[in-house]
Amino acid sequence: MNFYQTKFAEKLEEALKAVLPIIGLVLLLSFTIAPIPPSILLLFLFGAVLLVIGMMFFTLGAELAMTPMGEKVGTKMARSMKLQVVLFLCFLLGCLITVSEPDLQVLAEQVPSIPNHILILAVAFGVGFFLMVAMMRMLFSRSLPSLLIVCYILVFILAFFVPKDFLAVAFDSGGVTTGPMTVPFIMSMGVGFAAVRSDKHAEDDSFGLVALCSIGPILAVLLLGLLYHPGDAVYIPSELPVLQDSVELWQHFARGFPEYMGEIMVSLLPIALFFAAFQILSLRLKKKTLLKIIIGIAYTYIGLVLFLTGVNVGFMPAGNHLGQTIAALPYRWILIPIGMIIGYFIVKAEPAVYVLMEQVEEITSGAISGRSMGVSLSLGVSVSVGLAITRVLTGVSIFWFILPGYVIAICLSFWVPKIFTAIAFDSGGVASGPMTATFLLPFAMGACQAVGGNIVRDAFGVVAMVAMTPLIAVQIQGAVYQFRSRKQEMAEPETISVSYLDILADDDIIEL
C-alpha cells in the first residue's frame, strides 16, 4: 500500500507541474486581452481538474502495466517464434490497435468523399505493414535513416498529386493514429525485441517503431486521395456551449463520461486480449506480477477516461474561443508568440510524453535525462505552433513547412548518434497527442474563423507540424551531446574511465 501511495504522490506532482502552467496562462489571457465567458471558463477549470487526476492514473498505469506488457511480449515473440509468425502477429496487432483508435473516427469524418470504413481499413493496414517493417529493421539491425529517406521520398512524391485541401488532413493522420494508449505498448515492444539481440547497437535500435508506424497512415490516406479524388474536405465547427447553472456544467461532463468509457474500453481491449493470449500460451507470469499488471491496466483505463473527458469537454471550447478572440484583435500578430508559449507548456501535459522520457532515461542509464528530453520537445513544439499560426494568418501551404522540415531532420540523422535519431522520430508521434488535437487545433481553428481563412486547408496541419519539429530539436540535442563528449575526450586524453557520453559519440549504448 505504501508503494502505491508513494507512486500516486509522485505522479500527482508530475501532473500538476505539467498542467498548472497551461491553467495559469489561460487565466492570464482571460483576465487581460481575451475575455472568456463564465461558461467556457468553468468548463476549462473543471476539465483541468479531471486532466490532472487522469494524468496521475495514466502515467502510473503505463509504468505498472503497459510498459512491462510490451517488453515481455516483445522479448517472447523475438526469442521463441518463427519470423513469419512474428510478422503476422505484428501486422494483426497494428491493425487491431489502429481500428480501435478513437481519433481515427474523427479523421474519417473530415474526408466525406471517402467512405469511413475504407479509410479506417486503409490506415489500419498501413500501420500493420509498417509495424512489420519496424520489427524486421530491429531484428536484422538495418539503418533507420535510410528507411526513413525511402519512405518520405514516397510520401512527398504522392503529396504533389493530392488536392491541396486534402494535404493537411493526410499529414495529420500520422499523428492521430499514435495515441496515448498504443505508444507505450508499441515502444516497450521495441525494447523487448532489441533485448534479444546481443550486439553493441541493440539499444540504438530499440526506438524507431512509432516513427515508422506514423508513416503508414500518411501513405494510406494519400493513396486514397489519389484513388477517390476527393473534393474539398469539410469541417463544421461545433457551437461553443452556454451554461445556465452548475447543473448544466455537470451534465456536459456527465454526457462525455459514457462516450469515452466506451471508446477507451474498445481501444484497450485488443492490447489486453493480445497480452492475455501470450500469458496463457507462453508467458505464464507469476500471480503477483500478473496482479500488478491487471491493477496497472485498470489505472490506465481510469486515467484515460478522466483525461480525455477533461480535454474534450473542458479544453476544446476554451482553445477555440481564445483563438477567435485574439485573432479578432487589431494586433492579431500577437497570436504567434502566444501560440508558441502555449506550445512550449502544453506538450508537457501530453500523457505519452512522460512514458517516452522515462523509457529514454532508463534505456540510456541516465545519459539522456528525461528533463533535457522534455526541454527539447517543448522547444520543438513551441516552434511548430508558431509556424502553424503563421500559416493560419497568411494562408501559406503546409508543403512549404513540411518538406524543408523533413529534409533537415533526415540530413541531421547522418550526423548525430543513431539513438538520438530513433528517439527523435519516435518523439514526433508522441508529442502530437490528445492535447494537440483538443486544444491547439481548436485554437488554430478559432483563429482561422476570425481571419476568414479556409479551416481545413489552413488550420488543419497543426498535428503534422507538432509531429515534425521534435525530429529536429531532439537531433540537435544529440549533436550537442556529441560535441560535448568529443570536447571532453580531447580535454582529458589520459583518463582511463570512459563516460557514457563518449560511448554515445561512437553510437554504442551499453547498460551501465
Q: Write down the pLDDT at residue 501.
A: 41
Task: Grade residue 186 by pLDDT with cuts at 50, 70 and 90.
Answer: confident
In this prediction, residues 231-256 reach a mean pLDDT of: 77
The letter for the amino acid at 382 is: S
**Residue 395: DSSP 8-state:** -
175 and 436 in contact (C-beta within 8 Å)? yes
Between 440 and 242, name the one with better pLDDT.
Answer: 440
Which has the closest alpha carbon to 380: 257, 255, 286, 474? 474
- Assess whether pLDDT exceeds 60 at residue 232: no
Distances (CA, A) of 274 to 38, 77, 101, 190, 280: 46, 12, 16, 16, 10
Which has the closest alpha carbon to 220: 96, 95, 320? 95
Between 507 and 181, name the one with better pLDDT.
Answer: 181
Q: Please state, in angstroms and rounded to a whole number, the distance separating the CA atoms of residues 420 and 164.
A: 33
Joined grid coordinates for residue 25? 496562462
Task: Grade residue 118 by pLDDT with cuts at 50, 70 and 90.
Answer: confident
**Residue 456: DSSP 8-state:** I
- Assess whether pLDDT exceeds 90 at residue 211: no
Q: Write down the pLDDT at residue 499.
A: 43
**Percent of the chain beyond pLDDT 90?**
30
Q: Write down the pLDDT at residue 45.
A: 94
Residue 394: how many CA atoms within 13 Å on its side-chain side?
13
Q: Write down the pLDDT at residue 497.
A: 43
Distances (CA, A) of 159 to 119, 169, 224: 17, 11, 11
Measured on CA atoms in the order 57, 62, 64, 69, is the torsion positive or negative?
positive
DSSP reduced 3-state for 461 = coil
| Three-class HEC string of 160-220 | CCCCHHHHHHHHHHHHHCCCCCHHHHHHHHHHHHHHHCCCCCCCHHHCCHHHHHCHHHHHH
Q: Please state, in angstroms and rounded to a whole number, the distance separating the CA atoms of residues 438 and 447.
A: 15
299 and 57 in contact (C-beta within 8 Å)? yes
Task: Grade residue 41 by pLDDT with cuts at 50, 70 and 90.
Answer: very high
Number of CB atoms found within 10 A of residue 106's CB: 13
In this prediction, residues 205-228 reach a mean pLDDT of: 84
Q: Write down the pLDDT at residue 109.
A: 65
Q: Which ranges of 31-143 would DSSP assign to H, the alpha helix?
A: 38-61, 67-80, 83-99, 102-109, 116-139
DSSP reduced 3-state for 317 = helix
Q: Write down the pLDDT at residue 500.
A: 42
Q: Please state, in angstroms and rounded to a whole number, the distance separating the CA atoms of residues 276 and 399.
A: 44
**Residue 32: DSSP 8-state:** T
- Assess whether pLDDT exceeds 70 at residue 278: yes
Best mean pLDDT range from 43-57, 206-220, 449-463: 43-57
- Assess whether pLDDT exceeds 90 at residue 426: no
- Assess whether pLDDT exceeds 90 at residue 485: no
Task: Grade residue 189 by pLDDT with cuts at 50, 70 and 90.
Answer: confident
- Assess whether pLDDT exceeds 90 at residue 5: no
Helix axes 462-491 and 164-176, enclosed angle (nearest 10):
60
For 383-409, write each residue's pLDDT tens digit. Answer: 999 999 999 999 898 888 999 999 999
In this prediction, residues 354-368 reach a mean pLDDT of: 79
- Assess whether pLDDT exceeds 50 at residue 496: no
**Residue 34: DSSP 8-state:** S
- Assess whether pLDDT exceeds 60 at residue 285: yes
Burial class (CB in 10 A: 0-12, 13-18, 19+), 105: middle
- Assess whether pLDDT exceeds 60 at residue 359: yes
- Assess whether pLDDT exceeds 60 at residue 503: no
Q: Write down the pLDDT at residue 249.
A: 87
Joined grid coordinates for residue 85? 509468425
Q: Write down the pLDDT at residue 373.
A: 86
Task: Grade residue 236 by pLDDT with cuts at 50, 70 and 90.
Answer: low
Burial class (CB in 10 A: 0-12, 13-18, 19+), 391: buried
- Assess whether pLDDT exceeds 80 at residue 297: yes
Q: Write down the pLDDT at residue 511.
A: 36
Number of CB atoms found within 10 A of residue 328's CB: 14
Looking up cell 497494428 gives 94
Between 80 and 436, name the one with better pLDDT.
Answer: 436
Q: Write down the pLDDT at residue 203.
A: 64
**Percent of the chain beyond pLDDT 70?**
89
Summary mean pLDDT of the chain: 84
- Assess whether pLDDT exceeds 60 at residue 508: no
68 and 188 in contact (C-beta within 8 Å)? yes
Helix axes 316-327 and 38-61, enclosed angle (nearest 10):
130
Task: Grade residue 284 by pLDDT with cuts at 50, 70 and 90.
Answer: confident
List, in order, residues 6 or more apart from 174 with CB less than 8 Å away. Answer: 214, 215, 217, 218, 429, 432, 463, 464, 467
List, in order, residues 6 or more apart from 318 with CB less than 8 Å away. Answer: 26, 36, 40, 41, 43, 44, 47, 439
Task: Grade residue 492 by pLDDT with cuts at 50, 70 and 90.
Answer: low
Task: Grade residue 344 by pLDDT with cuts at 50, 70 and 90.
Answer: very high
Burial class (CB in 10 A: 0-12, 13-18, 19+), 342: buried
Q: Please state, in angstroms and rounded to a whole number, the distance separating the CA atoms of residues 309 and 315.
A: 9
Q: Write down the pLDDT at residue 506.
A: 44
Q: Please state, in angstroms and rounded to a whole number, the distance separating the CA atoms of residues 51 and 18.
A: 10
- Assess whether pLDDT exceeds 60 at residue 197: yes
Angle (CA) 473-477-480 rounded to 5° is 140
Task: Grade residue 202 by pLDDT with cuts at 50, 70 and 90.
Answer: low
110 and 235 in contact (C-beta within 8 Å)? yes
- Assess whether pLDDT exceeds 50 at residue 258: yes
Looking up cell 491496466 gives 297
In this prediction, residues 242-260 reach a mean pLDDT of: 88
List, in order, residues 6 or more apart from 504 with CB less than 8 Å away. Answer: 364, 367, 368, 417, 419, 478, 481, 482, 485
Q: Write down the pLDDT at residue 512.
A: 27
